[in-house]
Structure 1
């Protein structure tokens, strides 16, 4: 509002499964879709987003780990949409992978590309993609490092560059303009 008062949307929330524990949320560059990564059930919720009234409508739930994986002690951490809007990624702690998904440009829904080992990283808590979309930096909370991956622009697959940076207990990576 004009005076800075916040007014809840109607409906005021996006519905998610009980005990899924949404952790992070990312919008697609088209402004019509959004993704929530669920810490407890190792999944990503896909939402249609109505910019006129702020409504979120869940259209898909997809696992971040392969079927049959023992999920005991595992959790997710971060969700990132590639700047091109063609891919969505989520980090799996314990499974120590980055789940990769191809985005359907018509409806925002996801198809699994697979889970990629995070290199030398144990517990990939946070990661980010550089603004050009060419590189992903993935941090290892328990390995005290950040690993740089090149992103294949056609397939979305992370390719190991061999670059690993020693950093004590990294927890968050952000790219900031220097101007």
Structure 2
């Protein structure tokens, strides 16, 4: 989230740049010694075999038919393009060129969405601070029509009392639980998912305490993201307000703290990405615009020490830093992070930073900055087959498709596939 107002006079340059190759390699530099980047290296043969296997699996991934876009309908943190307000969730039919509108479902600030593993249901959080006179946000359950992709509301559940402005959600791999991060409520919730897809009442609450050094953004806990590992037994969660990553266990609809990992003070941990091997976890920090790499033991749910911390903006960047999205390429070979322009006139304030991942030790190597066609890119999504990256411009009312070079991981061939007011999240089914 971003809760600072962008003043009208602080407009971005009209001309965007694209920077790749050697120039980007010089612009992005590790913030930790090189020795911190090379632990637990696998043999070259094992690394090559793993990369080849991942690429083969990605290439065979089925193409989705429908795209679901979460939006801000009011009070968008960071601002809007100034056009007509969104009314809710937008359903689009995916095509080779422009995507065709199918349906717009009325919903209050359905900022983030998640699809059930069965592909039969979709879940949304309502990023609001009151519901039916009580200080709480809500979560919604929808049935997905397999024929035309249309949504039908199943039910809407309030979150825990004082659980305001939910920021993120995740469905457990077994499809039986929904986890929610409550940015304004300083807590995490779990809601059971019933056999018919409906949400039950909140069954688990984990309340956070603490603060960070940034008096404006870290005055209290601000849970920002939740992410299940492949086992579904462990839930990884960020807290921007206290500069830490939490790991919880989930059993019988309840959360239990399993471990905490402190990150750099004032960095503002925002979103996570888990490597397909389950050996590495990546974190994008909103306040200092960095990506950090951690080792991860999937069997025990233990998050290791920080191995690397690398900037998402170029050397010499001026103005306020404001990183946002973080997404993993399904092959595990590439990672992408977005930056959003707030108080900065730098040409790469709105940009996507691309990195290559070392399969042996998880270390990141900078590849490229892409900025053309972006206006406050709050969210990113990768196509299931790994062929394209989609960037959602909150202040551009647009979804941009970028081709991902399968060999280099670099981005090119921009195409605007949809116009959606204040887009925040994109998922496929």
Q: TM-score, normalised by structure 2?
A: 0.39
Change (3 A) 1:132 1:52: same
- Deviations, residues 150-169 of structure 1 (Å, cap 9, x unaligned): 11001111112433421111
Partner residue of 2:317? 69
5+ residue gaps, structure 2 = 1-249, 342-348
Asked if structure 1 preserves the Cα contact closer than 8 Å seen for 2:379 and 2:391, the reply is yes
Change (3 A) 1:2 1:127: closer
Matched residues in 1 for 2:266 and 2:368: separation? 25
**How much has 1:4 moved relative to structure 2?**
4.4
**How much has 1:120 moved relative to structure 2?**
1.6
Partner residue of 1:136? 389
Pairing 1:80-99 to 2, within 5 Å after superposition = 80-94=327-341, 95-99=349-353
- Deviations, residues 48-74 of structure 1 (Å, cap 9, x unaligned): 00123222121110100111111x233
Query: Mean alpha-carbon deviation: is it higher for 72-81 or for 26-35?
Result: 72-81
Pairing 1:1-179 to 2, within 5 Å after superposition = 3-9=252-258, 12-57=259-304, 58-70=306-318, 72-94=319-341, 95-117=349-371, 119-176=372-429
Asked if structure 2 preserves the Cα contact closer than 8 Å seen for 1:13 and 1:55, the reply is no
Change (3 A) 1:52 1:160: same
SS state at 1:14 partner = strand
**How much has 1:5 moved relative to structure 2?**
4.1
Asked if structure 2 preserves the Cα contact closer than 8 Å seen for 1:14 and 1:55, the reply is no
**How much has 1:6 moved relative to structure 2?**
3.1
Q: TM-score, normalised by structure 1?
A: 0.90
Matched residues in 2 for 1:76 and 1:105: separation? 24
Asked if structure 2 preserves the Cα contact closer than 8 Å seen for 1:137 and 1:146, the reply is yes
Asked if structure 2 preserves the Cα contact closer than 8 Å seen for 1:20 and 1:41, the reply is yes
Moved over 6 A (4+): none
5+ residue gaps, structure 1 = none
Asked if structure 1 preserves the Cα contact closer than 8 Å seen for 2:350 and 2:375, the reply is yes
Matched residues in 2 for 1:51 and 1:65: separation? 31
The root-mean-square deviation of aligned C-alpha atoms, in Å, is: 1.4
Change (3 A) 1:45 1:120: same
Change (3 A) 1:144 1:52: same
Name the one with the larger helix percent.
2
Matched residues in 1 for 2:251 and 2:264: separation? 35
Q: Which has the larger radius of gyration?
A: 2
Query: Mean alpha-carbon deviation: is it higher for 154-163 or for 165-174?
Result: 154-163
Matched residues in 2 for 1:116 and 1:19: separation? 26
